[in-house]
Amino acid sequence: MKLVVGLGNPGPAYLRTRHNVGFLAAERLAQRWKVPLRKKGCDAVFGEGEFSGFPVAVALPQTFMNASGRSLGCLLERWKLKPAAVLVLCDDVALPLGMIRLRGKGSAGGHLGLASILEELGTQEFARLRIGVRPAAGVEKNLTPFVLGKFGAPEGKDLEQALASVIEAGELWLSRGLNAAMNRFNQKIKQGE
């Protein structure tokens, strides 16, 4: 089985904020894969199912972002999974809105949710799919108000493009592995598409 984990903050105040784009992306994958997110445990809402013959679980940690690792560690223990079976979905202010980037390992890059996961798991060896949220005009030095702000109507088209790419990348990761997904989607970044 493989596990997709969307990062975000729980509660209605954070719905459709840039920092919660990981939740939004995971919910879209769960919907597409017909995995109902109804179960609760490990400080998460999650569901289990199958897509194209591949067993999969989708989870949304209900801790705040900077404690996501605790929830993920518990979920891995629950299903006896290795970190290599995980795909973490999160926001990235360094990437333009509409772009995604996949990596099989690496640092947190300033992302508190990823930092929590790195600390909890004690390894960088898990896949992460970063979803760009940076607008064309750039952002101020104080990122907190920006990432906790909601997506505006003008950003809708680029956001939907990113979510469509996440679905394709998630399905490729599930069926053919991380390298196949990286080869397809990271190429777009290199070419500036």
CA distance 58 to 146: 27
CA distance 35 to 71: 19
Q: How many CA atoms lie within 13 A of 30 on its CB side?
A: 24
Nearest residue to 100 via CA among 4, 187, 9: 187
Report DSSP state, residue 53.
T
State the first-to-last Cα distance of the chain, in angstroms, to the nearest integer: 33
Task: Annotate 108-123 with DSSP letters as a single string.
Answer: -TT-HHHHHHHHHHS-
The single residue of 2, 19, 101, 134 carrying the catalytic annotation is 19
Give catalytic status of residue 19 as yes or no: yes
Cβ neighbourhood burial of 43 (10 Å; 0-12, 13-18, 19+): middle
Query: Could you tell me which residues are beta bridge partners of residue 50?
Result: 55
Please name the residues in contact with 48: beta carbons below 8 A apart, sequence gap of 6 or more: 1, 35, 39, 55, 56, 57
Catalytic residues: 19
